[in-house]
């Protein structure tokens, strides 16, 4: 393939400002180490791109092709792209260390806002505390979200059908077992894992880049670095309230058209909480996010 010719490929790893691109149509599925033009840094793992070779295994990304989906997080200052063209967000929780329910809510909201199917995965069910953890998740099961218990170190088989036909991204706190899951599904990947710090009740970061793995011809898995926060500053208040799926039947039924469901009289959402049609835990989460976005 001549240098400087435009070819198409998929980004299979993102390392800061450098990217690994798998070239399509190459018999040996060559991996090309790529950079972008200038200071552009808007490429995500999973993107389909057009690039120009600058050497045998080096290239420059010229164009990002249209995406079917984009998952990202943002704070008040910048955005962080997580993955493109994914069809499923697998939110990885664990019985140990204890998971942050607020982070779970933020991941669900981001998935809903991006119109990507979410799956809640509770890992380390063999390590104890699975009953109490599953009880905490009953609220989300009642909303229609799928919950998949798993003990990845013992048997990852129950997860395989959930990933079939999807391009899935694993997201969650450090120490939840994302790398262990990837190692179990793809032993040849050799993803580094690290012991959980029991003193801090939190995980240590082991994955520093976002990486896409092929499980089979139609199923792909993206592993992402552990999260301690998931900013949603890219969402409007209207997008935020729509992302709380149980709010949807009550939206537009408030006394005031500009109701933000904080403490306004005649609020249909607050009324639904009072009648127990909506969980107070979820309303509290929503109101905290509204305050954060204002």
Judgement on whether residues 187 and 78 belong to the same structural domain of the protein: yes
pLDDT above 90 for 270 = yes
Q: pLDDT digits over 132-153, tens only?
A: 999 999 999 999 999 999 999 9
Name which residue leads in pLDDT, 29 or 199.
29
C-beta separation of 278 from 268 below 8 A = no
Judgement on whether residues 98 and 21 belong to the same structural domain of the protein: no
Q: Omega before 239 cis (within 30°)?
A: no
Domain around 46: 6-64
Name which residue leads in pLDDT, 129 or 286.
286
Query: For the chain, how many structural domains are there in total?
Result: 3
How many of the other CB atoms lie within 10 Å of CB of 39? 6
Give me 257's structure tokens: 């058209």
Q: Give me the DSSP letters along 226-260.
A: --S---BTTS-HHHHHHHSGGGGGGTT-SSSTT--
Across residues 74-84, what is the average pLDDT? 88
Q: Of the ranges 3-12, 142-151, 168-177, 238-247, which one carries the lowest mean pLDDT score?
A: 3-12
Judgement on whether residues 150 and 263 belong to the same structural domain of the protein: no
| Helix residue spans in 114-221 (DSSP H) | 130-136, 138-142, 160-163, 178-185
DSSP 8-class letter at 214? E
Measured distance CA(32)–CA(54) in Å, rounded: 10
Judgement on whether residues 96 and 197 belong to the same structural domain of the protein: yes
pLDDT score of 229: 84
pTM of the predicted model as reported, rounded to 2 decimal places: 0.90
Judgement on whether residues 198 and 242 belong to the same structural domain of the protein: no
pLDDT score of 154: 94
Residue 210 phi, psi (nearest 5)? -90, 130
Judgement on whether residues 24 and 163 belong to the same structural domain of the protein: no
pLDDT score of 198: 41
* CA of residue 234 relative to chain centroid, distance: 15
pLDDT score of 193: 44
Across residues 108-121, what is the average pLDDT? 97
Judgement on whether residues 197 and 104 belong to the same structural domain of the protein: yes
Q: Enumerate residues 6+ apart whose C-beta is below 8 A from 92.
A: 121, 123, 170, 171, 172, 176, 177, 178, 181
Q: Is residue 247 part of a domain?
A: yes
Residue 88: strand, helix, or coil: strand
Measured distance CA(73)–CA(110) in Å, rounded: 8
Tell me the pLDDT band of 4, cut-offs 50, 70 and 90. Answer: low
Q: What is the CATH number of the domain that holds 60?
A: 2.40.50.140
Q: Of the ranges 29-43, 62-76, 182-196, which one carries the lowest mean pLDDT score?
A: 182-196
Tell me the pLDDT band of 209, cut-offs 50, 70 and 90. Answer: confident
Spatial CA neighbour of 121 closest among 78, 171, 86: 171
């Amino acid at each position: 393939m001549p240098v400087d010719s435009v070819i198409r490929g998929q980004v299979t790893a993102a390392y800061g400002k450098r990217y690994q691109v798998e070239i399509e149509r190459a018999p040996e599925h060559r991996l090309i180490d790529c950079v972008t033009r200038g200071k552009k840094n808007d490429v995500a793992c999973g993107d389909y791109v057009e690039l120009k070779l600058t050497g045998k295994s080096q290239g420059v990304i010229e164009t990002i092709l249209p995406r079917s989906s984009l998952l990202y997080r943002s704070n008040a200052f910048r955005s962080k792209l997580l993955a493109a063209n994914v069809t499923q967000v697998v939110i990885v929780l664990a019985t140990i260390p204890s998971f942050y329910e607020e982070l779970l809510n933020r991941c669900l909201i981001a998935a809903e806002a991006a119109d990507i199917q979410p799956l809640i995965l509770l890992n380390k069910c063999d390590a104890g505390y699975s009953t109490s953890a599953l009880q905490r998740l009953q609220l989300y099961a009642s909303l229609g979200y799928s919950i998949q218990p798993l003990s990845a170190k013992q048997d990852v088989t129950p997860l395989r059908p959930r990933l079939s036909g999807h391009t899935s991204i694993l997201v969650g706190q450090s120490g939840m077992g994302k790398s262990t899951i990837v190692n179990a599904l793809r032993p040849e990947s050799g993803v580094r894992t690290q012991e959980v710090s029991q003193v801090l009740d939190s995980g240590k970061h082991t994955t520093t880049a976002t990486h896409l793995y092929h499980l089979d011809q139609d199923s792909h898995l993206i592993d992402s670095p552990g999260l301690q926060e998931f900013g949603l500053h890219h969402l409007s208040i209207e997008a935020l309230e729509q992302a709380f799926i149980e709010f949807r039947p009550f939206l537009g039924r408030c006394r005031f058209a500009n109701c933000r469901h904080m403490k306004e009289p005649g609020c249909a959402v607050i009324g639904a909480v009072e009648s127990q049609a909506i969980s107070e835990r979820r309303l509290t989460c929503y109101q905290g996010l509204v305050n954060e976005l204002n």
